[in-house]
Each structure stands twice: as C-alpha cells, then as structure tokens.
Structure 1
Amino acid sequence: MSVALLIARHEWRRLAVQPFAWGLAAVAVALMAWQFLLSLDGFVELAPKLGGLQHAPGATDLVAIALLRSWSSLLVLLVPLVTMRSFAGERRAQTLPLLLASGVGNARIVVGKYLGALGYVIGLTVLVASMPLALGFGAALDAGKVAAALLGLGLYAAALVAIGVACSAWTAQPALAAAAALAISSLLAVVDAGARLQGVDSSAINYLALPTHLQPFFLGLVGSVDVVYFGLVVVVALALATRRLDVLRTGD
C-alpha cells in the first residue's frame, strides 16, 4: 500500500504544477461561491416570511444542502476532466511502459492513480463545503444532516473518480477518456428517468442510478445499501482498470 501512496503523492504533485488543474479548480470554486452568495441572499429575503411558518426550511436546506446538490451535479462534468490523463496521458507521453516495468503490481498502480485523483476532488469538495459550514458561526445548522450530505458527496465523488480512472485506462486519448467517463456517469445519473416517467420507482434499473443512492444522504439518511452501492461501483471500476493494465503489460 505504501507504493500506492507514493504513486498517489506523485499524482498530487503532478496536478499541483498543472495550470489546467488550478484553472479548473478556480472556475469550479468560483461558480459555487457565486451560487452560495445568491442562495444566501435569497434566504435572507425569505427569512422574515419563514419565521412564522411551522417546520419551515432553514439555512441548512435552503443554502447548505442546495449548494451541495449543485456541487454533485458539477462533479459529473468536473471529474472526467481530472481523471482523463491518469493513464491516457501516460500512454500519450509514452511513459506508461516505464511505470509498468517498474515491478509495481497493476492493482497498486491503479489504486495510486485513483487516490491521487480522488484527493484532488475531495480537496475541492472541502473548499466548497467550507462556504455553507461558515454559516454555523451566525446561523443554526443541522450538523447531522450536513454531515450525512458530505458523506454522500464523498462516496459519490469516489464512484465518479473510479469510473474516470477506468475510462482513462481503457483509452489512449485523454479527450476520449473524458468523453467516455462523462457518458457513463451521465447514463448512471439518468438511467432511471424513463422508468420513473412510467411510474416505476422500485425496480433494478432505479437501483443502478447514482442519484437514487445520493438523494437519501441529502435528506440526512445514511443507509448501508447506498454505501454498498458506491463501494461496488468503485471496486468494479478499479477492477476493470486493473484488467486493462494486465492486457497492456502482456501486450495482448
């Protein structure tokens, strides 16, 4: 595992010196900051009217959870851009054979690349989450609900990063890897939309959708079935990436 952490640290350093990574982070955080300010302004205007209502939503639902929901939607677009160079970039630069010849197991290489990309995404998530959490100094936040939402976001990000790393391993072009990851993530995000339009909301196709398992966390509910689902997505995606490296190593 120490080797995997070394590879992850190398990935973090590689991202830290890339203007693209810094630009992507700046744009993403700026968008979330703008939405946070708009949500906060709207909440301040609504607060006097909500004060007289029973069980009225507060800053947790109208500002914090709303911002985290928007961040989850942005992650579908952002993560493929972060992971697209994990392996495809190595292949394009012709440095992947050197990595494969280093004697490190394929699984460790995949886990290291995965942890490197995940660390970047989690770092951005922490920055975004710090905005609504700052409201705790002047407003009453439901700490349990926010914590559940952050846990769900972490699992959701982990699944998206795993999909992105797998796509990068199976393609030789970073742009194609990003497109494939975006397509798969988007498909898993809307796979149950048609079924729900037909009134089906408890079938296997609903279970496959990412939002089906993320939504309970935003409601403050942490279920083992949802945690297991995200874990399975990560394991399957990383296993596919490892299998691809096996093929590349043997040259078949």
Structure 2
Amino acid sequence: GFVYKTHHLQVEAMKIAIRAAFDHFADLRAMKLPPEALLERDSIRRAAATISRATAAPLPPVALPVSHDTVYLTAADEEGRMVSMIQSNYMGFGSGVVIPGTGIAMQNRGAGFTLQPGHPNEVGPNKRPFHTIIPGFVTKAGVPAMSFGVMGGHMQHQGHVQMVTRIFDHHENPQAASDAPRWHVTPDFQLALEAGFPESVAQDLAGRGHSVGIVDAEGVFGGAQLIYRMEDGGYCAASDHRKEGAAVGF
C-alpha cells in the first residue's frame, strides 16, 4: 500500500533526528542549542532538503548504547481528559538503590551520559542525562486527540512516528496500526525491518542504499498502548501484541 512507499523518507528523516539528538540532547542547562532552534521551520527545511528521494544517506558514526525496561499506561475519562504516562528503571532493578521502607528501586538513567569531553551530554553533577522516556500525546486545535506510547528504548520515538503516520496520515484503525510491522533505525544506523514486511519493501529500501536486515524478534520493535478520541467523543483503545498489556473500558 501507499504507506510502504513513504518508508524511505520516514527512515531518512528519522536518521537526521537521531543524529541531532545524539549531538545535542542533554540537560537543558547544558545544551549548546536550545530545543526550539532544532524545531524551527527553517532548520527543519534545511534538514529535509538534504534527503534524497532516491537513495539513503551515508551512515554516520555510531553513537549511544541502548537498553530498556519500561512500563507505559494511558487513561481517559468521559469528560475528555486524557493522561499519557511512562516509567522506566532503565536496566532491570535500575541503580540497585532502594528507598528504605518502600521497596521502590531508583533508576540508573545516568548510564545515558557520555564520557566525550565537551559534549553537552557529558557526565557531570546537577544534570539530567539524555534518555528515551517519551509519553506521546496528540492534540487537534488544542483538544486531546490521542494519548499513546511505544515502549522500547531507542525504538520509542521511531514507533511514535510510525503510529502517528499510520493513524493520522493513512487513517488506519488504531489496533491495526499497532499490529502492523515496524522498521527500526538501530543505534549504529542500520535499518531493521520486522518480519511481516512485504519482500518488495525490503528490496526497494535496500536498492536505495539502506543497510537492511529482517528481524524476527518482536521485542526489538517496541510495544504500543494508545487511546484514540473519535469524532463523536467516544474512545478507541489499542494494545500491542508484542508486549504484555490490555485495553479496558468501563
């Protein structure tokens, strides 16, 4: 279908975004460029102009290591209020430090710092590290339209792009969009395609210069949960088959 024809452009845009994140994202006080500068229309246009519709860009240097152990939940009520929440210890029991009397283990997101001198995300005191905790939320004209998340470390933001594109651009059913095969630009900028993609899509992307691999492990591609607000004010919820989860209405 048409959605597959856009994957090359989505992947190339994602590579640019990941490269920018690896280069600039850090504690807000340590960033050399403010987030708004990266999101300015002129900046986005310049980045988009570097994308070739025919071929993949050369692979940039490898950046950050990745790990993940994340929980996501979303809720909505009859008055239209919606909540999107994500929580993660990062690695297993996180730091291994437990708050006395609570059983709550502290996370070890400090592993997301870099040791590269001068980098805005260089390890240091009183700073927050680069991380991938991203509760998703879509509004239309200021009105909540979808609360969602895709658990899975480095896959989170990539899963968000694919979910939003399928549901809002291609008008897919939310559960169908959750179940559809996904692509994943790995931390070393290879392109992993989930088993289930048409062979023609893999061949087309490889022909454009992407380093493509077919991956049969569903955990690589994250797990989505979402609530979509319909035009009549009702809700449609979806839960990804790749993870433990449920969609419940009452």
TM score, norm. by length of structure 2: 0.29
Structure number, greater radius of gyration: 1
Say which structure is richer in helix: 1
Higher relative contact order structure (alpha carbons within 8 Å, sequence separation ≥ 6)? 1
Say which structure is richer in strand: 2
